[in-house]
Structure 1
Amino acid sequence: MAAEPRLLLVRHGESEANVAGVLQGQSHGALTTNGRKAASQLAARLANLAADERPTSVLSSDLHRAAETARIIAGPLGLTPEPTSIAREWNVGVLDGSPASVLHEAVLASSLPYWDFLPSGGESLRAVRDRASTLAEMIQGELRDPALAPKRLRTALVTHGDFIRMMLSMTEELPIEDAVKLVLRNTSITELALVDRSWRIVRIDDADHVEE
């Protein structure tokens, strides 16, 4: 019986903006020392998996905080990260660099659901969900290609919190109104399995590799 394709959604390592408590959206951001340490711990965890459980490819957002995390993870696996702008974080437009509380206040003032709020110069979470759907469909298409399927069988995707939440909201198990509430720690693993052409949730926010 063929193994179920797996998608490991990895949130990037801790960034300077995470520590400061400000929105970084599609600005690049830099990892902190702790962020690099946790990424290295995750790299060791993945490299020590059995051969039939290790990632076979690494995709990542092209934003620096995710791309650096991906490079740290990919090295011990002998893989080369593939950056893509599709996996970028929610574009919060003019709110980029503001305290996170400013976003919540703006959503309340709009009287819109969180996922429909459109920040000036940015995009809604529904638009992020559309990007997530595009990437998921791309991966499924590659899995149907005999030449690409072995590479995509177990893909680690290093991305961002809201992108992961929107990928989870595409499953039948987690509606968008619940997905937006999820807490996802830096470098945590959220895993999906492709079963009968539908993505199923295996685990959420697994950060057992992080040591203080």
Structure 2
Amino acid sequence: MRNVYVVTHPEASHHVDGLVGGWYDSELTENGRRDAAALARALRVRIPEDADVDVISSDLLRTRGTAEEIAGQFGVTPVWDPRLREKSYGEAEGRPQEWLDKRFLPPPATGNRMDHHEGVQGAETKTVFAERVYAAMDDILRLDSEHQIVVTHGFALTFVVAAWARLPVDALGYVNFRAPSGSVTHLREDDFFHNRQIVHLGDTGHLAS
């Protein structure tokens, strides 16, 4: 039985400062660090004591802080994978969200939504974004551990889950799985049928109200 726990990092400074995230290297806030500790404890309770556990994380500061808290509970060293980063918003990163909102070109309702250019220099298309997350997941799922913890970002989670379900990249134009910051999404593959399940999506029961 393979279990993958997809963690979206908790509150980071760009959230409270109203800045565009993407590859902007914001850090966890005090609340974010508290929630990362709660996440780590919740995962420790879910996963058997004698289990082999991998922790693979985006390399940005806000995910690194989250992954280090989790890895400490399991006595393992995290693996940093930049392919698990959030979507790049190019020149908008670190700027006020209002700056991006004024320039952003939303995708069309029909047609080629995956290769749509959003009007911001240096921003990734959804195709480029999805393909790099899929490549990361291909490598993660080649690992033998029964329990894998993947620490990533809110938008990137959609492509982590889609890769798990083996949805083709060119079918993702309308796909969006929403999970709050600091959440855990539990994915499971059984050993008999090898069916892949989404057991829980965006669980935040471990966080204080």
TM-score band, normalised by the shorter chain? 0.7 to 0.9
TM-score, normalised with respect to structure 2: 0.82
Shift of 1:46: 1.4
1:53-202 alignment, distance < 5 Å: 56-100=53-97, 102-103=100-101, 106-108=104-106, 111=108, 115-118=114-117, 119-142=120-143, 149=144, 152-170=145-163, 171=165, 176-180=172-176, 182-194=177-189, 199-202=196-199
Change (3 A) 1:169 1:104: farther
Give the AA of the match of 1:169.
Answer: A
Per-residue CA deviation, residues 23-63 of structure 1 (Å, 9 max, x unaligned), is 11112111100000001111111122351796711110011
Size of the alignment, in residue pairs? Answer: 199
| Structure 2 residues not aligned, in runs of 5+ | none
Shift of 1:97: 2.2
Give the AA of the match of 2:157.
Answer: I
8 Å CA contact retained: 1:6, 1:154: yes
1:17 is aligned, of 10, 14, 18, to 14
Change (3 A) 1:178 1:209: farther
8 Å CA contact retained: 1:46, 1:54: no
8 Å CA contact retained: 1:55, 1:156: no
Distance 1:54 1:178 in 2: 37
8 Å CA contact retained: 2:158, 2:178: no
Q: Secondary structure at the match of 2:186?
A: strand
Q: CA RMSD in A?
A: 2.7
Distance 2:153 2:56 in 1: 12
8 Å CA contact retained: 2:51, 2:146: no
8 Å CA contact retained: 1:13, 1:36: yes
Corresponding position of 2:38 = 41
Give the AA of the match of 1:117.
Answer: H
Choose between structure 1 and 2: higher helix proportion. 1
Change (3 A) 1:66 1:29: same
Q: Secondary structure at the match of 1:179?
A: coil
Q: Secondary structure at the match of 2:104?
A: helix
Change (3 A) 1:55 1:33: farther
Shift of 1:123: 1.1
Shift of 1:10: 0.3
